[in-house]
Each structure stands twice: as C-alpha cells, then as structure tokens.
Amino acid sequence: MSYTTQMDAARKGIVTPQMETVARKENIRIEDLMERMARGSVIIPANKNHKNLDAEAVGEGMRIKINVNLGISKDCCDVEPELEKVRAALDMKAEAIMDLSCYGKTQEFRQKLVEMSPAMIGTVPIYDAVGFYDKNLQDITVDEFFKVVERHVMDGVDFLTIHAGLNKHTAEKVKSAKRLTNIVSRGGSLLFTWMEINKAENPFYEHFDRLLDICEEYDVTLSLGDGCRPGCLYDATDASQVEELITLGELTKRAWERNVQVMIEGPGHMAMNEIPGNMMIEKRLCHNAPFYVLGPLVTDVAPGYDHITAAIGGAIAGASGADFLCYVTPAEHLRLPTLEDMKEGIVATRIAAHAADIAKGYPGAVEWDNNMARARAALDWDAQFALAMDPVKPVEYRKSSEPEHKDSCTMCGKMCAVRNMNRVLEGKDIQLDD
C-alpha cells in the first residue's frame, strides 16, 4: 500500500521508517504514535528528499524539541561561519535548524545544510524570495513566490514557515489595533507590505491549495507562521494575534484534509501570567496541533540577556502545552548571533525544554536529574561532567579554581556540606581547621 505523507501513512496503518525511529527514541508504542499522527496532534517532519534525516516527532506526549535559527544575510554573507554554527548546533543536540538566509548564495547554503544535517530543517521561503529575485518586493509575482517554495522543498527542507494566516481581514485588525510595535515578524511584515502596496490578498492564503499541493508531493510539514505575534508585552493577546490564530485553525483543518502535517507558531513577547492561557487558546483554536513558540520573552528590558528572558517563558510555555521551542540568543534584537551567542542560546533553550519535560512528567526526564544528584552526593566530579547538559563549561570552571581537597570545591573547602555529611554518616571524624 502506498502513501503520500507521514500523516497519510498513519491514517492507513502503514508503519514508516521514520515512525519506527521516533517510537524507539520516545519509547512509545507505535500504535499510539500513529493514532496521534492521524489526528494531527503529533508530526514527524520528513521531506522525501532529506535522505540522511534522523527523524524526530513534535507534539502530544513527545519530548519537547528545540530549534536553532541561523543563515546568511547581506551584512554577514559568508557561508562557512554559518556552516560552523551548523556543526556546533548538531554537536549540542539541537533537533531542528531553521535556515533564515535572505541574501547571497542561499541555495548553496541550504543544500549543504540539508546534506550535512540529520536534524530536521526548516526555512522561510519569503525571505529568500526577496534576495533571489533582486527586485522590489511589490514586483514579486504570486508565481515567483511559489517557485521559491518549490525550490526549497525540492532541496529537502522538512518544514516551511508560511504566514498564511495574515489575510486582508487580519491586516485590517493590525491597522486598527494601535500596537506599540506593529508587526515584528519579518515574514509577516513583508507580506503585509506586499498586500498593502498591491491591494491584494495574501497569496499564500488565497492560493492555499496550491501550497498544499507542494507540501503533499514532498511530504513537507507546514509551520503556519504567526505574522501577528506580539513584539512587546503591551501587544500580547490582542485582537490581531487572536484573529490570526483563528484563521490558522481553519487552515489547519484544510491541510489535514490533504494529509499535510501542520504545526502552529506562537508568540513572541508576553507576561508570564498570560503564557498558560495562550497555550490553552492555541491548542483549542488549532485543534491540538503541535505548538512552536519563540520564547516567549517575559520582559522587554533585557537586551543582551534575552536568552534568559526567553528561557523563562519557554519553560512556562512548555509546561503549559507548547511542544517545540525556538531558541533565542543574547544577540536577539541586536545583531546576527556569533558562534558563542548560538551556544548560549541553545543551552538556555535546552534547559527550558528539559524543565518543562520534568513538569509535564515526560517519562524518564527527572531520572537524568536524579542521576546528577547521586553523582553530586558521591562527589563524583567526572560523573557530574558526563551528565551535564553542557559538559564544557563545568569542566572549565573546575579547572580554573582547583581546591586543596579534591572532594570539595573552592567555594566551601573543608566546610563542604556534602563532604561532611558523607563523612559523619560513615562514622568518620570531621576536621574543619586547617
């Protein structure tokens, strides 16, 4: 029996190699995995042309995954530094990489990225369209937009961010909403501008079936973009954001009718107390499709530290139902991230995802922490380093300030609580004097 997409296979009861990989990784019965995929609450982004993909699942009951953004731009158009970031992101166990390239040798970079990456790959084709055609935005035709989409999927991209929900009706909400930051989504702002200048409907909304034709042919997952995501706390959960979300829910059903997998993108900037409610609204309006969030950043006043503000929001979002976290680096709002910025963003986001997995009771999540606790109780430094989410920094810290007594650290020395408790419970003497 043949199938077109992973969702189609699940609905027909066909077990794909990607499903087998995911079932093993997630330690889930393949029948349960397929049932969730058939409903659309779990996705396995897996373009037929991405030959070396090590499949991952996103959604209900799955471990929370993280995404890393990178790519070349007009100001930073050298391919090699971005490929170095790719290698580092893979070493640091990122499950997804989004290529946001918008200038220069974008196809060369994208093809190299797909070829070298077992992680799932995402792109935002409208970024590439502006640079590829080298013409004014308003002069790009509908056919030209779709030709770029086709080029990306042929190259093996597993998921596409398409801002199809920002239609004319939602655009009117944006104009009347009096937001402080208007539209901060790059893709959303480009489409809004194109629509306003050409007095036309969003081509990806108007010709959504054409988009589904492409996705179905290559088994590409649609990541329905949040063009109206809030760019500051003030704009969160306003009419524009919710109006677009309603439209995304409608488009999700249309995609599922064609067996096209879907995830929904979400905010953005948002106060902590609003995050759980937003997760609930998204899941309800979008029929429990997997939710992919940027942050949310829980304050607007920490430039240079937004990997922290995003990790706080990401942990809350994950614990409240988000399935996929997009990393944020310290360079957010300021510049293209360096390799070190990227590493900090990955670690912060992995912390948020793991903390949320623990809160949600993901099987085995807390055992990692329990193993670390055992290693700390035994003052087994090598075991602690091996268990560390990022083993490099703790090793460097330890070497930079070595204690007199190897079973302690330079913070406490002989007054180390763990060391002394171990000794007294073993019936040994404790000498605190030098």
Q: Tell me: the pLDDT tens digits for 119-134?
A: 999 999 999 998 888 8
pLDDT for residue 431:
74
Q: 168 falls in which pLDDT band (50, 70, 90)? A: very high
Consult the annotation and say whether 280 binds a ligand: no
Query: How far, in Å, are 149, 244, 313 from residue 298 at the CA level?
Result: 33, 21, 6
Does the pLDDT value for residue 434 go beyond 60?
no
Answer left, alpha or beta for residue 239, where phi above 0 means left and psi between -120 and 50 means alpha.
alpha
pLDDT for residue 172:
94
Nearest 5 degrees, angle CA 262-CA 268-CA 274?
A: 100
Consult the annotation and say whether 400 binds a ligand: no
Consult the annotation and say whether 24 binds a ligand: no
For the chain, the average pLDDT equals 95
pTM for this predicted structure:
0.94
Consult the annotation and say whether 7 binds a ligand: no
Consult the annotation and say whether 333 binds a ligand: yes
Structure confidence by residue, pLDDT tens digits, 110-165: 999 999 999 999 999 999 998 888 889 999 999 999 999 999 999 999 999 999 99
Consult the annotation and say whether 187 binds a ligand: yes
pLDDT for residue 314:
98
Structure confidence by residue, pLDDT tens digits, 1-11: 899 999 999 99
Consult the annotation and say whether 228 binds a ligand: yes
Structure confidence by residue, pLDDT tens digits, 40-90: 999 999 999 999 999 999 999 999 999 999 988 877 778 888 999 999 999
pLDDT for residue 164:
98
Task: Determine contact, residues 57/16, Cβ cutoff 8 Å.
Answer: no
% of the chain surpassing 90 pLDDT: 86
Consult the annotation and say whether 13 binds a ligand: no
Q: 433 falls in which pLDDT band (50, 70, 90)? A: low
Consult the annotation and say whether 169 binds a ligand: no
Consult the annotation and say whether 91 binds a ligand: no
Q: 102 falls in which pLDDT band (50, 70, 90)? A: confident
Q: Which residues of 2-19 are buried (b: 16+ CB within 10 A; e: fewer)?
A: ebbbbbbbbbeeeebebb
Consult the annotation and say whether 226 binds a ligand: yes
Consult the annotation and say whether 186 binds a ligand: yes
Structure confidence by residue, pLDDT tens digits, 351-409: 999 999 999 999 999 999 999 999 999 999 999 999 999 999 999 999 999 887 777 78
Consult the annotation and say whether 76 binds a ligand: no
Consult the annotation and say whether 185 binds a ligand: yes
Q: 98 falls in which pLDDT band (50, 70, 90)? A: very high
Q: Which residues pair with 70 in a beta bridge?
A: 99
- Please state the rounded mean pLDDT for residues 312-330: 98
Domains parsed from the chain with CATH numbers? 6-360 (3.20.20.540), 364-400 (no CATH), 401-434 (no CATH)
pLDDT for residue 75:
77
- Please state the rounded mean pLDDT for residues 283-310: 98
pLDDT for residue 43:
98
